[in-house]
Homo-oligomer: A and B are copies of this chain.
Amino acid sequence: MRIFVIVIFTLLSYNSMFAQKNNMMVRLSEIEIVPAYLEEYKTILEEESGASVRLEPGVISIFPMYEVENPTQVRILEIYASKEAYEAHLKTPHFQTYKTTTLKMVKSLKLIDMKSIDAETMPLIFSKLKTND
């Protein structure tokens, strides 16, 4: 009986993990920043991405970075638990503040919908960063 319960819970847990990953939204944002605003933009983006990850359970990752050779080229890897989580994110005060204050700083913006190739090993990948601290 005990084994049976463990098996059922394991199956349910795999099932929920699978459902979650199927709903996940992955996006790569390609943003070019007006050079004069670069430092100010990065500060605002860092605040916004930090707040999103801390305050929104449906924001799995907002990982902002820029090209070393071309620092005005910003890229953000965004992972949301679902489309609903993404839509809720757009309505948050921290996203709205980011959007309105950086409008004049953004030269071009391309939002590219992505599909993860390796969703199964992803938890392992990301958990390693925590372990490595």
Contacts and interface: CB of A to CB of B under 8 A. Distances in A.
A22 B69 CA distance: 18
A129 interface: yes
Band of interface residues on A: 35 or more
- The SS class assigned to the A binding surface is mixed
Nearest to A18: B133
A35 interface: no
Interface in A57-74: 57, 59-69, 71, 74
Interface of A: 13, 16-17, 20, 26, 28, 42, 45-46, 49-50, 53-54, 57, 59-69, 71, 74-75, 77, 79, 81, 112-118, 120-130, 132-133
